[in-house]
Structure 1
């Protein structure tokens, strides 16, 4: 089976460390006046476009309150235009039914960028604790997210990713990708690649199994064997040690269906 070249895996620093290294701590007491280098850093930060720290905090709280309310219409209204184009209130409602209830949350850090702002939050849900990174655009709308799944098996994460793709929940599927990879793969691009695959393989039927085929000190390769109505083929998923998907590829030349013997 011929395969397109897999996207070169990255070895990013831990998102948590990255966030902590550049974040502005939330919930701290009154700040002391900055001097010297600290004053210069604050002045440079204030010139960044997009959301301020207070705006990002307020937007993240609005989004998490909507998640807690389980109001599909409200959650959909907070999507960026790109996410809205790939979803609908009914799809959001279907996703909500599969998720645990959000009980409370604590905003941990904010990382401001040139185009987006990333907010790290610790969630307490009916299924336990969960860390999440929310990516906000300049209007305070959610344009992406990533859930920390470090404690799960790589094969399970890869299986959940393909399950989200196969059900048409491309926003949820993209949430399994690392934030770095999300910068390169939009929701629309992910949807297009899945639809192109099905034009060759036929409609999705089921995931047969997900098997970890190799690992190194910082990467895991998982093959997700997937049955379509014309053939069965495998999808390649590469994850880092935090179970963030850093590479994914679909077969460009799926196996030709064989005649019955």
Structure 2
């Protein structure tokens, strides 16, 4: 039995520049594809949570491509790094809106990644293009060089690249909230993430410690991998890694 439900879409707001998950009706193509799963192994039935009239008259034939509902800043900067300057005239596989394109260019310009001629700045623009993260996070890493906290910032950036480091267990919301409070910082979630990472290292990278604190052990291992990748990229760019705790670097 396959019950076809609405979809969760990642959508970028061009005004607030914030991406969020929204509930959206699925398309006819998606509904047919999902219904096929009911008979994949043996004969089955598909129950749809909408009327036949809605399917025929209201539902779109195809879903909106992710390229048309995502922040384009990362795509634009990569095209710029490849020498493609005519972004507005670029032949996209699924053409995004002009508003989304302009917003991406405005964001990159405000970050100092593009100059007045919409070309990559040197060295900041080319350095941001080398870091495989959201341009705002990449610029944050570059700014941390001047502030002497690049070790901490690449840790935070690595955690932000993971979907979640917390483990949510049904019926244990109170315990999860209490675990988060043990690492909470008045400065905000970013410093809280940093406290979690430091605690993970202090525990000897223990899976039992992660289980006790409702932390995803495999996610933390992934954080360490991403952090090491960022370290190598910064070293290749000739950027020094500094810690706000002193000259001693945090080892992984």
TM over 0.5: no
TM-score (norm 1): 0.24
Structure of larger gyration radius: 2
Which protein is richer in helix relative to its size? Answer: 2
RCO comparison, higher one (Cα < 8 Å, 6+): 1
Which protein is richer in strand relative to its size? Answer: 1
